[in-house]
Amino acid sequence: MGAISNGIAHHTKGLIPYCATFFVFRDYMRPAIRLAALSESRVIYLMTHDSIGLGEDGPTHQPVEHIASFRAMPNILMLRPADGNEIAGAYRIAILNTKRPLVLALSRQKLPNLKGTVSLQFHQ
What are 41-78's pLDDT values in tens digits?
999 999 987 766 666 666 666 667 888 899 999 999 99
Cα torsion angle, 30, 31, 35, 38, sign: positive
What are 20-40's pLDDT values in tens digits?
998 888 889 999 999 999 999
Give me the mean pLDDT over the 7-30 stretch. 89
* Helices 30-38 and 2-11: angle between axes, nearest 10 degrees: 20
Percent of the chain's residues with pLDDT above 70: 85
Measured CA to CA, the distance from residue 45 to residue 103 in angstroms comes to 5
Q: Are strands 44-48 and 18-22 parallel, antiparallel or unpaired?
A: parallel
Q: What is the pTM of this model?
A: 0.85
**Torsion angle in degrees (nearest 10) through CA of 52, 79, 32, 53:** 10
Phi, psi of 44, rounded to the nearest 5 degrees? -105, 120
Measured CA to CA, the distance from residue 114 to residue 83 in angstroms comes to 7
Which residue ranges form the domains of the chain, and what is each CATH number? Answer: 2-105 (3.40.50.970)
Instruction: Return the minimum-mean-pLDDT range out of 34-38, 61-65, 94-98, 106-110.
Output: 61-65
* Contacts of residue 68, Cβ cutoff 8 Å, sequence gap at least 6: none
